[in-house]
Amino acid sequence: MSYVPSTGEQRQEMLRAIGMQDYRDLYRDVPADMILDRPLDIPEGMSELEVTRAMTAMAARNTVFPTVLRGAGAYDHYIPSIVKSVTSKEEFLTAYTPYQAEMSQGVLQSIFEYQTMICELTGMDVSNASVYDGATAAAEAAAMCRDRKRRVTLISAAAHPDTINTVRTYCYGTGDELRVVPMKDGRTDTDALRRMLTPDVASFYLQQPNFFGQLEDAEAIGAMVHEAGAMYVMGCNPIALGIMKTPAACGADVAVGEGQPLGMPLSFGGPYLGFMATLTKHMRKLPGRIVGETTDHEGRRAYVLSLQAREQHIRREKASSNICSNQALCALTAGVYLAAMGPEGLAEAARQSMAKAHYLCRSLTAIEGVELVYTGEFFHEFVTTLPRRDEVLAALEKAGILGGLPVDGGVLWCATEKVGKAELDRAVEIVKEVLAK
Amino acid sequence: MKLIFEKSVPGRHCDLLPKCDVETVSLPESLRRDAAPALPEMSEVDLSRHYTELNKQVHGVNCGFYPLGSCTMKYNPRIDEDMAALPGFTGVHPLAPAHTVAGCREVLDTARKYLCEITGMDDMTFQPAAGAHGEFTGVMLIKQYHASRGDVARTKIIVPDSAHGTNPATAAMCGFQVVNIPSAPDGCVDLAALKAALGPDTAGLMLTNPNTVGIFDENILEITRLVHEAGGLCYYDGANLNAVMGVVRPGDMGFDCIHLNLHKTFATPHGGGGPGAGGVGCKEFLRPFLPASALMDGPGRIQVRSFAGNFLVVVKALTYLLTLGREGVPEASQNAVLNANYLMHAMKGTFTPAFDRVCMHEFVLDLGEFKKATGVSALDVAKCLIDYGMHPPTMYFPLIVHEALMLEPTETESKETLDWAADVFRQLYELGFKDPEYMHNSPHNAPIGRPDEVQAARHPIVRWQKG
């Protein structure tokens, strides 16, 4: 089964029409000694029902936890039903990049709306149509900040480890240096940052809230970075932005982040969404697709892929990035999610996530032996010590609860609006029971 | 069509969340945002209708013929979507304990095994999220390999001028100097030009085969041998793999590493621009340089994005592979090539192929003469096709053909569709001589006419602003 609709007879007819005997004639340019002289060593094809069984069996070998108290870059938020219903529409799903505007106004408008929503969330002037994920968005942002004189990138040690590694890899690619600014008490060490902001520094990347859930003094840090003449890149949690000071208000030149919390399921890590926005003055350095508004010859409003002179298919080796495919359907997902939540719904998801995490934190740290590791303000994640950590996490797992992530010095917990008080109480009860043994 | 913001009504909303059942906490004043973001305020019915309206102005593979060359717009089977929507996959946290994600690991391992067999590679990573991202990863393998041997003088990557723009852009992102070499008149690698470019500073060659004009480079073994002899490595851009699956393998052509576009060759949908997945395969000696995730696998040498990549796209590709199996995989490629040759043949006497010989899965038309005779450009023809409900072919690519239209019908189009398409092209060819003016003003029946792209670039409006 290969989804080839032409019948055997039609295929023969087509071969005859082009003056060929069989398929081998089609490959006459391929040197004969290179042609595979055996069948592929993969199983025989299967019917749709058999494939469904095989894949369902694989899915069944995973554990899906009804209660998730783990975040660390992937967050289990409630996804409104309308989101999936829109993103499974076959036209949105199966279209290519909207190169032909006259045939793609729907995709283009949805991206234009997404760009506007990202600008609203971040306070920035211009957003691109998405990049792969939050980590690559950070790496692309670092690249757009470098110029001839300023080649060094700084990143906070309190950023997500995957982000640090990804930025490091992109820097290694272009032969530029990445320096990691140490942390102190779970937050960026601002004294160290001040010392490290030398004249060759192009940008500093701060994650807010940071990997340990702690809230950074983002505005003061921004002022410090600008004083040193460097650019300021902020990686933000988009749900937190429902209530939190925007990167623009904190002085960021580029705002990026992992868009997964905006309606994308956990999905073992992807597809997710990298969002990326900047100020008008940096617009032509922004990588990736950007949709712009214009008119057609009759003056009707129209949307097009715009500012393409930055991109690889025009600029080739001089392009700002090699990005071509992005995460368009995930951007659509985020757009539908944000429109369904609305300003109040998004703020409520943020407030509830924060409230649940603080409730969980209070309840856990009331247990003898469980202490808060970093005591600064936090959003929806926090680190505690946890005696007999593996035993506790195993007990939670048995009860269908994915506990926090083991990290240096303890466990990184997370709660979102999706978990109810009863689930949190039950988790705390289990921790108590194990530790009382 | 109104923007979603223009449909927003203050105070309207969807009821989605319960009341908070724990004590609320407030952000410190200094961390709060001044004003709420101006997101749309909509009811669910408003949303449903808005996106349905937008969706009507999108041409997907499900709508009709989509011969967008080099993009492999084959039909995306529905079962792939159902399998990727299984809660057993969507509900898995990427950092869940290893023993709870055995099914995800099995998906990745099985897809890796099958795709290595199809490509003749020894290992593969699915961390890269798209084709260009795969290129970046692959060229980073080459960079690390040379660096690990202290071979630091290898600073150049050779790219033929017929290559996709992502190739030179990728080489530059990996810190290499790009050496563009001209193609031979048939679009294949000019061996003399290649030899002249090779030297002790050669890090590698990036190549797609079949090449971007749809021709299989019969000198491929000589090409990869020459590069290896000079101490460079060979990178295979998998954009055109749909021509040769189960027939000939990049590994057997002498390539050291490759990327695949799962969203092209392996039938996963493109979502209006993504997500894709750019699996990168390599020979054994490059395995130590494959990327890892800091939190999932521990520190590796490189990492190109978070976690394990676009996992659900791999689920879809595996579903497709299981369906096709041993016989179906080559059958898909053979019919992709048959369809391309049949369509090229059926168009004879109208637009001229840039290369009049057997093609692989795609072919390029050269409208240079036609334009001289009629004044009608490749762009005009492309825009006319829109009125017929056919997505235009790739235009003005590859750069080595000037008035280029590149057609890739794929294997999932029937003979009737190809006959119809050939007929449409014939009509347009004739129309070019009769009424070129009509063609300059096409499309006539689309929701919009040709947009003013110059205005869009000069006076960028990239977001909606209130009133």
CA angle in degrees (0–180, nearest 5) for A253-A254-A256 = 155
Domain A67-77+348-436 CATH assignment equals 3.90.1150.10: yes
Nearest to A217 by CA among A180, A190, A184: A190
Does residue B150 form part of some domain? yes
Contact A117 B20 (CB under 8 A): no
Provide, as residue numbers in chain B, all residues whose Cβ is less than 8 Å from the Cβ of A399.
none
Question: Which tokens is B150 given?
Answer: 């202290």
Question: DSSP class of residue A258?
Answer: E
Give me the phi and psi of B239, to 5 degrees please.
Answer: -55, -30
pLDDT score, position A379:
98
* Residue positions counted in chain B: 467
B-interface mutation test, from A18, A35, A42, A258, most B Cβ less than 10 A away: A42
Three-state DSSP at A16 gives helix
Query: Whole-angstrom Cα distance, residue B271 to residue A332?
Result: 9
Q: Give the residue from B106, B140, B95 showing the smallest Cα distance to B306.
A: B95
What's the CA gap between B365 and B408, in Å, rounded? 11
DSSP characters over A113-138: HHHHHHHHHH--SEE-S-BS-HHHHH
B254-269 residue pLDDT tens? 999 999 999 999 999 9
List the single residue in A34, A125, A402 with the smallest CB-CB distance to B96.
A402
**Which of A70, A105, A344 shows the shortest C-beta gap to B448?**
A105
- The DSSP bridge pattern shows strands B202-207 and B156-160 to be parallel
Question: Would B173 be classed as within a structural domain?
Answer: yes
Taking only the tens place, the pLDDT of each residue in B57-81 is 999 999 999 999 999 999 999 999 9
Spatial CA neighbour of B281 closest among B166, B143, B141, B116: B116
Contact B391 A258 (CB under 8 A): no
User: Which residues from chain A sit within 8 angstroms of residue B345, using beta carbons?
Assistant: 17-18
Task: From chain B, pick out residues whose CB is under 8 angstroms from the CB of A335.
Answer: 4
A36 neighbourhood in chain B, CB within 8 Å: 246-249, 252
Predicted pLDDT at A320: 77
CA separation for the pair A225, A222 (Å, rounded): 5
- How many beta-carbon pairs below 8 A join chains A and B? 698
Best of A33, A38, A102 to substitute, by most chain B Cβ atoms within 10 angstroms, is A102
Residue B152 Cα, gap to closest chain A Cα (Å): 12
Q: Which residue has the tokens 């969404």?
A: A273
Q: Give mean pLDDT, residues A412-436.
A: 98
| Closest by CA position to B170, among listed B210, B209, B130, B198 | B130
What is the reported pTM?
Answer: 0.97
Contacts of A82 in chain B (CB under 8 A): 14, 44, 47-48
Q: How far apart are alpha carbons A221 and A355 in whole angstroms?
A: 26
The beta-carbon neighbor of A59 closest among B103, B447, B453 is: B103
Q: State the smallest CA–CA distance between residue B372 and chain A in angstroms.
A: 24
Question: How confident is the model at residue B412, as a pLDDT?
Answer: 98
Instruction: Domain of residue B275: give its range.
Output: 78-322
Which residue among A34, A51, A314 sits closest to B79, beta carbon to beta carbon?
A51
- Which helix (H) or strand (E) segment holds residue A306: the answer is strand A301-306
Angstrom distance (rounded) from CA A121 to CA A137 = 16
CB contact under 8 A, A60 and B103: yes
The band of B297, judged by pLDDT with boundaries at 50, 70 and 90, is confident
Tell me if B155 is assigned to some domain. yes
User: Roughly what angle, to the nearest 10 degrees, separates helices B415-434 and B311-346?
Assistant: 60
Q: Identify the DSSP state of A216.
A: P
- In this complex, which of A17, A113, A269 lies closest to B3 when CB atoms are compared? A113
Instruction: Identify whether B147 is part of a domain.
Output: yes
Mean pLDDT of chain A: 96
* Residue B305, CA distances (Å) to A255, B114, B235, B308 in order: 18, 24, 21, 8
3-class SS of residue A397: helix
Per-residue confidence band for B463, with pLDDT thresholds at 50, 70 and 90: very high
Contact between chains at A78 and B17 (C-beta distance less than 8 A)? yes
The distance of A229 to chain B (nearest Cα, Å) reads 24
CA distance B100 to B84: 18
User: What would the mean pLDDT of A351-375 be, rounded to a whole number?
Assistant: 98
Task: Please report the pLDDT score of residue B400 as a whole number.
Answer: 85
Alpha-carbon distance values, A262 to A6, A342, B306 (Å): 42, 12, 17
Per the CB < 8 Å rule, is A62 touching B76? no
Taking residues A231-250, what's their average pLDDT?
98
**How many angstroms away from the CA of A198 is the closest CA of chain B?**
24
The residue among B404, B409, B398, B276 whose CA lies nearest residue B341 is B409
Give Cα A423 to chain centroid, integer Å. Answer: 27
Shortest CB distance from A96 goes to which of B39, B270, B318? B270
Structure tokens at A219: 């505005």
CA distance A138 to A130: 12
Distance CA B142, CA B149 (A): 11
Q: What is the pLDDT of residue A99?
A: 95
Cβ-Cβ contacts under 8 Å for A373 (sequence gap 6 or more) = A186, A212, A383, A384, A385, A409, A410
Closest residue, chain B, to A314 (C-alpha): B165
Given an 8 Å threshold on Cβ–Cβ distance, is B60 in contact with A94?
Answer: yes
Between CA B433 and CA B421 the distance in angstroms is 19
Domain A81-336 maps to which CATH number in 3.30.70.270, 3.30.70.360, 3.40.640.10, 3.40.50.300? 3.40.640.10
pLDDT at A1: 77
pLDDT at B299 over 70: no
Mutation target for B interface from A2, A12, A423: give the one with most B CBs within 10 A.
A2
pLDDT classification of B22: cutoffs 50, 70, 90: very high
**What does the pLDDT look like over A134-152, one tens digit per residue?**
999 999 999 999 999 999 9
Q: Is the pLDDT assigned to residue B2 strictly greater than 70?
A: yes
**Distance of alpha carbon B70 from alpha carbon B408, whole angstroms:** 7
Tell me if A325 and B276 make a contact (CB, 8 A cut-off). Answer: yes
Q: What is the pLDDT of residues A193-214, one digit of tens each?
A: 999 999 999 999 999 999 999 9
Helix (H) or strand (E) holding A414: strand A410-414
Whether B463 and A173 lie within 8 Å, measured CB to CB: no
Mean pLDDT for all residues in chain B = 96
HEC string of chain B equals: CCCHHHHCCCCCCCCCCCCCCCCCCCCCHHHECCCCCCCCCCCHHHHHHHHHHHHHCCCCCCCCCCCECCCCCCCCCHHHHHHHCCHHHHCCCCCCCHHHEHHHHHHHHHHHHHHHHHHCCCEEECCCCCHHHHHHHHHHHHHHHHHHCCCCCCCEEEEECCCCCHHHHHHHHCCCEEEEECECCCCCECHHHHHHHCCCCEEEEEECCCCCCCCCCCCHHHHHHHHHHCCCEEEEEHHHHHHCCCCCCHHHHCCCEEECCCCCCCCCCCCCCCCCCCCEEECHHHHHHCCCCCCCCCCCCCCCCCCCCCHHHHHHHHHHHHHHHHHHHHHHHHHHHHHHHHHHHHCCCCCEECCCCCCCCCEEEECHHHHHHHCCCHHHHHHHHHHCCCCCCEECCCCCCCCEEEECCCCCCCHHHHHHHHHHHHHHHHHHHHCHHHHHCCCCCCCCCCECHHHHHHCCCCCCCCC
Q: Which residue, among B333, B341, B318, has the nearest Cα to B246 in the 3D structure? A: B333
Q: Identify the three-state secondary structure at position A244.
A: strand
The answer to whether B318 and B79 have CB atoms below 8 angstroms apart is no
**Residue from B308, B17, B87 nearest A65 by CA:** B87
Pairing state between β B177-181 and B202-207: unpaired
Does the bond joining B210 to the residue before it have cis omega, within 30 degrees of 0? yes
* Angstroms from B284 CA to nearest CA on chain A: 19
| Rounded Cα gap, residues B212 and B162, in angstroms | 6
Q: What's the whole-number mean pLDDT along residues B227-239? A: 97
The distance of A263 to chain B (nearest Cα, Å) reads 12
Instruction: From chain B, pick out residues whose CB is under 8 angstroms from the CB of A130.
Output: 273-274
Contacts of A168 in chain B (CB under 8 A): 303
User: What's the whole-number mean pLDDT along residues B274-278?
Assistant: 95
Question: Which of A40, A114, A408 should we substitute to test contact with B (largest number of B Cβ atoms within 10 Å)?
Answer: A40
Looking at the predicted complex, does its ipTM rise above 0.90? yes
Closest Cα of chain A to B373: distance in Å?
26
Exposure string over B258-274, b if 16+ CB within 10 A, otherwise e? bbbbbbbbbbbbbbbbb
A2 and B331 in contact (C-beta within 8 Å)? yes
pLDDT of residue A308: 86
Q: Do B51 and A424 touch (CB under 8 A)?
A: no
pLDDT tops 80 at residue B169 = yes
Q: In total, how many domains does chain B have?
A: 1
Which pair of tokens denotes residue B188? 């294949």
Q: Would you state the structure tokens that stand for residue B363, as one six-digit string?
A: 């072919």
Instruction: Give which of B23, B462, B465 to mutate to test A binding, by max A Cβ within 10 Å.
Output: B462
Per domain, the residue ranges of chain A are: 8-60, 67-77+348-436, 81-336
The DSSP code for A328 is: H
Contact A29 B328 (CB under 8 A): no
pLDDT at residue B88 tops 80: yes
